[in-house]
């Protein structure tokens, strides 16, 4: 019932940053070393978020690298947007849901966070047709798909002014996501049961 308003993404999100904001490539090479065995923090990539950390090839960094990458520390609720490759994907990150205690965002993604608006609602809004169409206009059409932070901040979002309305909408769509996940899990179990029965049926 309340009015919605147009706001630029750079006005809605107080934090818009990424991995390379930590410094030059030379600084990154000097301070950040990837490790394939558990260390102080996990380097979270968009592929990890997409597959639920089930790839079996996790990447870790030591405390020096973790401190150097403080701008992309995943210690608060935030939204992750791949900006090279799978542009258009949207991931809501809840720190308590991550499998590792300390986490930092890896390259090829942008971290955005609002301290005044509902991040759950905003993550739903960014999955919508309006934002996705506007995002497609700033994605480079040549070679590998990509976009940058400056262009992203200029995209306008149509959203409710009231935080309680944002919260209610976010909660509603989150419940739908939970139902989808639940039913998808049930479907997978039934498919596995069917496969097992078919395998048993043809045993000689």
The answer to whether residues 80 and 154 belong to one domain is yes
The residues with which 18 forms a beta bridge, in sequence order, are: 110
Q: Are residues 108 and 30 in the same domain?
A: yes
Q: Are residues 132 and 193 in the same domain?
A: no
In this structure, are 140 and 180 located in the same domain?
no
Do 188 and 143 belong to one domain? no
Looking at the structure, tell me whether residues 72 and 105 fall in a common domain.
yes
pLDDT for the residue 203: 64
Q: pLDDT value at position 56?
A: 77
Q: Are 143 and 113 in contact (CB under 8 A)?
A: no
Distance CA 153, CA 143 (A): 23
Looking at the structure of the chain, the number of domains it has is 2
75/150 same-domain check: yes
- Indicate whether 73 and 85 sit together in one domain: yes
The per-residue pLDDT for 199 is: 83
Residue 161: per-residue pLDDT? 80
Judge whether 40 lies within some domain. yes
pLDDT tens per residue, the chain (204 residues)? 568 899 999 999 999 999 999 888 899 999 999 999 999 999 999 999 999 998 778 999 999 999 999 999 999 999 999 999 999 999 999 999 999 999 999 999 999 999 999 999 999 999 999 999 999 999 987 778 999 999 999 999 999 888 888 889 888 888 888 888 888 888 888 989 988 888 887 665
3-class DSSP state of 94: coil
- Of 127, 144, 159, the residue that ends a domain is 159
Q: Domain range spanning residue 32?
A: 7-159
Alpha-helix runs per DSSP H in the chain: 9-12, 25-31, 46-51, 63-68, 119-125, 129-138, 149-153, 163-201
Amino acid 143: pLDDT = 74
> Does any domain span residue 93?
yes
């Amino acid at each position: 019932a309340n009015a919605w308003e147009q706001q630029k993404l750079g006005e809605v999100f107080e934090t818009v940053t990424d991995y390379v904001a930590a410094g030059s490539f030379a600084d990154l090479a000097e301070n950040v070393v990837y490790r394939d065995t558990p260390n102080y923090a996990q380097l979270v990539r968009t592929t990890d978020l997409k597959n639920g950390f089930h790839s079996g090839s996790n990447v870790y960094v030591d405390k020096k690298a973790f401190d150097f990458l403080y701008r992309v520390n995943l210690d608060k609720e935030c939204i992750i947007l791949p900006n090279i490759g799978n542009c258009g994907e949207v991931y809501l990150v809840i720190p308590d849901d991550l499998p590792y205690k300390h986490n930092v965002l890896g390259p090829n993604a942008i971290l955005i966070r609002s301290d005044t608006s509902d991040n759950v609602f905003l993550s739903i809004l960014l999955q919508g047709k309006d934002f996705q169409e506007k995002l497609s206009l700033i994605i480079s059409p040549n070679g590998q798909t990509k976009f940058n932070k400056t262009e992203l901040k200029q995209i306008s979002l149509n959203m409710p002014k009231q935080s309680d309305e944002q919260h209610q909408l976010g909660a509603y769509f989150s419940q739908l996501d939970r139902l989808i996940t639940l039913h998808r899990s049930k479907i997978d179990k039934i498919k596995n049961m069917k496969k097992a029965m078919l395998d048993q049926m043809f045993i000689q």
